[in-house]
Amino acid sequence: MDKEKTKKADTDGSTEAKPTAEVKTSAKKAPAKTGAKIPVKKAPAKSAAEGDVKNAPAKTGGKAPVKKAPAKKAPAEADESASKLVISSSPHFQTTENIPRIMYTVVTALIPAMAVSVYLFGLRVLMLMAVCVVVCLVSEYAMQKARKKSVRVHDGSAAITGILLALMLPPGFPIYGAVLGSLFSIVIGKMLFGGLGYNIFNPALIGRAFLQATYPVLITTWVDPGAVINAVDAISAATPLAMMKFGGEATGLGALFFGNTAGSLGETSAIAILIGGLYLRYKGYINWKLPLGYLGSIAFFAAIFWIYDSSTYASPFFHVMAGGAMLGAWFMVTDMVTTPVTPCGQWIFAIGAGFLTIIIRLFGGLPEGVMYSILFMNAFVPLINRHTKPKVFGELKAKKT
Amino acid sequence: MIQTQRHIKKTMNLKTFDKGVHPSDHKELTANKAVRTAALPKTVIIPLLQHIGPPCQCLVKKGDIVTEGQMIGEGTSFISAPVHASISGKVKDIDAYPHPSGRKIPSVVIEGDGETREWKAVKGKVNLDNLAPDEIRQKVRDYGIVGMGGAAFPTSVKLTLPKGKTIDTVILNGCECEPYLTSDYRIMLESPEKVVWGLRALMKTSGASRGIIGIEENKLEAVHAIREAISGALDLEVMVLETKYPQGAEKMLIQAAIGRKVPTGALPLDVGVLVNNVGTAAAVYDVFFYDKPLIERIVTLSGDALESPDNLLVRVGTTFEDVINQCGGIKSECREVEVLNGGPMMGITQSMLSVPVIKGTSGITVLEASDIKKKSVEPCIRCASCVNVCPMGLMPYRLGDLGLMARADDFTSWSGMNCIECGCCSYVCPSRRPLLQWIRLGKLRVRQQPKQ
């Protein structure tokens, strides 16, 4: 049986072949020793005449050859025909869960953050978000067409990338920059790796990192909420993290919580992100270990320095709520594709990323470390997965391979 | 009925194993249908292989007249179980016939004479105290008893302990964690005394001092029935387990019931446990009380594509076509169906309906072929669902890839050979990746590797 179901390995990762090898046969072909017939009242003559046997694309890997059984039976005998028997591998039950549902739930969860950013920074940010999403979708579609892969741009993953990238940009960021960043995210960060599921790094973060390198000034030009935003004469303001790092001035926790500070579109309001994140948790699409481990580790390492010298270092509450930590914790550390699958690995990933975030924030050249810390940990995911295999049932001593 | 008692779960501290999935059980279709004796088949096809092990040697030849219950195939090796004629009549043919496993197996075709034999209760009271373990074991073997849960491992082999091994606990598997199937449930409900006596016989033969019947909490009526039959015996216990798939898998059941973990590559007897199906225990009862070999069994016919689902007492060798017709046939509006030997999680699809019911056929499930399976496979998004449900603690997404890529060495080092093929990974995959199918492929590749 297994041989029949053999499929050629698709080395480039795309899996367009059918999941199940089907051998369709009509029951009338059965020897029917007992002479009994399956009573089927109205059987179309066509299906009675066809005894199609679709062989599995076993060795050929190509299209299944279709053999036509000799259609000896007259249409009048159609009542003898039974329902087609479909052959497939067990299990024959599957959940109704699917990728688009997961992805669009994430999009839904991002709505509060998007809404708050429009409220804080005005309608221009809507434009920014729309541009990012549209460019992501179009470039993914174009790449899939160009690589002659099945078009699955509708699965929602590109939309998430676009929204997340937009939420990480300063409100006054020029449109052409957003276009470039989105293109980089999808084309370089995702599609060149093989598309959804094969990218090593979080595409949105890759796009953001690209923009950070390309437009270092523009991407750190912030405005206060409510300021008239115009890319030409933006009234420059400092983010809470920059104020902390370069001026030693801590922003109030209330402002951080509700988002009334300068910063990227969707990163300022902790509460909006939290609502979305908890919704995702309620839906079961994120593992609580990841956001909790990440925020907990940020708080823990920040607390060490804070206790050591509270006049120089900000409080753990500040670090958890300032900058991109919240957005990162709920929407990037939890990205399924680029994070570990094993429970132990998820802890390592989350805690490691939190540790790096604090190190970069306190001792690096940049005020913010969320982006690089997560990208850095992304690179370790295959390694982490390999070395944190769960314990096999009944294994007496954990054998390391 | 059994569905409405879900709330009890909250108030009871139910035992279970780690991970697993919760498919909807659909048992309401047949749970309340009393077992009905199927019509006597005109012809039966009795495969000479209905157990795990090599096929039996045929004892009859074409044209012979056989009587119901006559042994027609005898085991040639230690791991085997004889087969018996399930109807009286004339041997019409001995040849390779399609088998529910998908292969062709040498089979004896018997054309019935329409006569049935009445299986009278054995004269005098059967007293377990008067039976020696060896006597029980031999009779269980001679009467062709195999595991009735589906795997059909010869029971007598299980009862023969290698030197130095002892068994302290016999667990009867009444979990029936497969959706749709209710044959075990009906046995426990309708003949709990058979199950309990069978359990005692198995305990006596294996030398165990403790007997446990594990039942999922969606079958509380069976729990009550068995508890009544036990009537306060101290060495027997009914254990109510959480309804979760694969609760009925041997290793999972042992962990759930008594907390022991069967080591990798070891057998339950290595941790002092013997697991048998409740149906097997009832069959053992029939052997001693009616002197009746295993020639018929209870089969649940269910599924959304079946006209009138039912529990039937079917003679071994009756064709699927015959029994499906006795349940109203396949719904006419279902143009494409999957007919399964077993339940939807582990059952094997049949390419023809002329295959016979065998000793291990606990159910025949007829499902409308789902459109889901026809859709293309999406890429793996590392959602970790498969890792989170695998009861064996494996990483199915990775094993699937390795199996597909024929990397046998890596497949082994990622513990792929420990897979019990329960199908939880394929069940939960949001990308519709046929993970189990690929893992099977990987196992096949490992087995095909030349041994060093």
- pLDDT of A77 above 80: no
Q: Where on the phi/psi map is residue B363: left (φ > 0), alpha (ψ -120 to 50), or beta?
A: beta
- Domain residue ranges of chain A, discontinuous segments joined by +: 1-94, 99-387
Q: Tell me, yes or no, if B334 comes closer than 8 A to chain A by beta carbon.
A: yes
Q: Give residue A228's pLDDT.
A: 53
pLDDT tens figures, B352-392: 999 999 999 999 999 988 766 667 788 999 999 999 999 99
Q: What does the alpha-carbon distance between residue A84 and residue B338 come to, in Å, rounded to a whole number?
A: 8
The per-residue pLDDT for B452 is 59
Q: Chain centroid to CA B51: how far? A: 11
ipTM field: 0.85
Nearest residue, CB atoms, B42 vs list A34, A152, A285: A34
Contact criterion met (CB < 8 Å) for B344 and A83: no
Looking at the partner chain, which of B179, B337, B370 has a beta carbon nearest the beta carbon of A85?
Answer: B337
CATH architecture of A99-387: Orthogonal Bundle (1.10)
Structural tokens at position A388: 């944190």
Closest partner CB to A38 (pick from B325, B377, B441):
B325
Region B181-206: mean pLDDT is 93
Residue A272 CA to residue A291 CA, distance in Å, equals: 15
What kind of architecture, by CATH, is found in domain B43-112?
Answer: Beta Barrel (2.40)
Is the minimum CB–CB distance between A13 and chain B shorter than 8 Å?
yes
Residue B6 pLDDT level (bands cut at 50, 70, 90) = very low
**Which of A86, A317, A289 minimizes the C-alpha distance to B368?**
A86
Least CA distance to A394: which residue of chain B? B263
Residue A245: the pLDDT is 78
Report chain A residues whose CB lies below 8 A from the CB of B273. Answer: none
Q: Write out residues 289-318 of A within 8 Å (CB-CB) of B.
A: none
> Using the beta-carbon criterion (under 8 Å), do B336 and A84 form an inter-chain contact?
yes
Using the predicted structure, report yes or no on whether residue A310 has a pLDDT greater than 90.
no
At what angle are helices A157-167 and A124-146 packed, to 10 degrees? 140
Phi, psi of A37 (to 5 degrees): -125, 145
* Average pLDDT of the segment spanning B144-171: 90
Least confident of A19-28, A177-186, A221-230, B384-393: A19-28
CA nearest to B332 within chain A: A40
pLDDT digits (tens, 9 = 90+) for A245-281: 777 777 788 888 888 888 888 888 899 999 999 999 9
> What's the mean pLDDT in B76-88?
91
Interface test with A, best of B255, B426, B439, B445 (most A CBs within 10 A): B426
pLDDT of residue A396: 66
Chain A residues with beta carbon closer than 8 angstroms to that of B305:
83
Q: Is the CB of residue B316 less than 8 Å from the CB of residue B46? A: yes
At B98-118, the pLDDT tens digits run 999 888 999 999 999 988 888
User: In B208-335, which ranges are E strands?
Assistant: 210-216, 236-241, 273-277, 296-302, 310-315
Radius of gyration, alpha carbons of chain A: 27
Token readout for B228 is 């009544």
Number of separate helices (H) and strands (E) present in chain B: 14, 17
- pLDDT digit string, tens, across residues A129-150: 999 999 999 999 999 999 888 8
**Strand duo B336-341 + B83-84: pairing:** unpaired
Residue B424's pLDDT is 94
A10 chain-B contacts, CB cut-off 8 A: 404
Class of domain B295-373 (CATH, top level): alpha beta
The count of residues in chain A is: 401
Cβ contacts (< 8 Å) between B393 and chain A: which residues?
390-393, 395
The pTM of this model reads 0.83
CATH architecture entry for B2-33+132-290: 3-Layer(aba) Sandwich (3.40)
- Give the Å distances, CA to CA, from B450 to A9, B308, B408, B409, B447: 21, 50, 11, 12, 8
Domain ranges of chain B: 2-33+132-290, 43-112, 295-373, 376-448
A318 vs B96: CA distance, rounded Å: 76
